[in-house]
Amino acid sequence: MNGQTAGAKIDYDQIARRYDSFRGGRGPYLELLVELAASLGARRILEVGAGTGNNTLAFHAAAPSASLFACDLSCGMIQRAREKEAPGAWLRADAHHLPFTAQSFDFCFGCYMLHYIHDLAAFTGECSRVLAAGCVAFVTASHEFIDRHPMNRYFPSFAAVDKARFPSIDLLKAALAAAGFQDVCEKRMVVAQGPIGPDYLKRVENRFISTFDLLSEDEFNTGLARLRADIHARGRLDVMSEWETVAVWARKGPG
């Protein structure tokens, strides 16, 4: 079994440890997700594409009595989550075919996994099926954020690669509405990340976002050399790093 995703050259089984050491979770969206689940009194929570368990750990800390389920396509990511003693029942599953009976959950969410979904209608339909009356929520990157990302100036294909795989926020909202969800909402959150200096360079060297795995080796190495030279020459870039994250959520009514 492997965690390679359709159409993408990213093998999460291979990169699970690297991913986990450079992606600690702790995003500004966690509070919103926890509040949404709490406002519903959600008792049965499903995380899809749960990776190495950063979000389940946060959920468990905020709502220790909720029953947590987490699924991911990659055995390597799940293994890393288990090593971290991430709470919940973990299983390997493809988000397009969730292995749960209808109306099993009150709250279903996924963070930074929509860009691996090749059939958004099938996936949102599955989320609707496994939810009883409750809420679905996703965290993702907007095309606007991708377009203004500071790494575009070093890696010319950066925005094209990511816009080809991340659904636009409008597309996501339309898919949720088409799957029968109501009251579709979005919230954009921006967090200042500080200067783009040696620490950021180290993260790029370690391909802390999968975009870098999808560039040609030539483009990656050329862009990295330019980034390294600029940071070595000036200590930092003349732009600051910021992280914009978008949460989109919607309600499934009873019946």
126 binds ligand SAM (CB under 6 A): no
Of 48 and 196, which CB lies nearer to ligand SAM in the complex structure? Answer: 48
Residue from the set 33, 73, 196, 247 that interacts with ligand SAM by CB under 6 A: 73
Q: At what angle do helices 120-130 and 169-178 cross, to 10 degrees?
A: 50
Of 49 and 134, which CB lies nearer to ligand SAM in the complex structure? Answer: 49
CB 148 within 8 A of CB 219: no
Q: Which residues contact 225 (CB under 8 A, 6 or more apart)?
A: none
112 binds ligand SAM (CB under 6 A): yes
The residue written with tokens 């500071």 in the block is: 150
Alpha helices in 84-131 (DSSP H): 120-130
Of 4 and 222, which CB lies nearer to ligand SAM in the complex structure? Answer: 4
Alpha helices in 85-197 (DSSP H): 120-130, 143-147, 158-165, 169-178
5 binds ligand SAM (CB under 6 A): yes
Residue from the set 55, 124, 140, 245 that interacts with ligand SAM by CB under 6 A: 55
Q: Which residues contact 151 (CB under 8 A, 6 or more apart)?
A: 158, 204, 211, 223, 227
Q: Which stretch binds ligand SAM (CB under 6 A): 89-97, 169-177, 216-224, 226-234?
A: 89-97
Burial of 30 (0-12, 13-18, 19+ CB in 10 A): buried
- Closest approach of ligand SAM to the CB of residue 54, in Å: 5
- Closest approach of ligand SAM to the CB of residue 49, in Å: 3
Residue numbers at the binding site for ligand SAM (CB under 6 A)? 3, 5, 12, 23, 25, 48-51, 54-55, 72-74, 77, 94-96, 111-113, 116
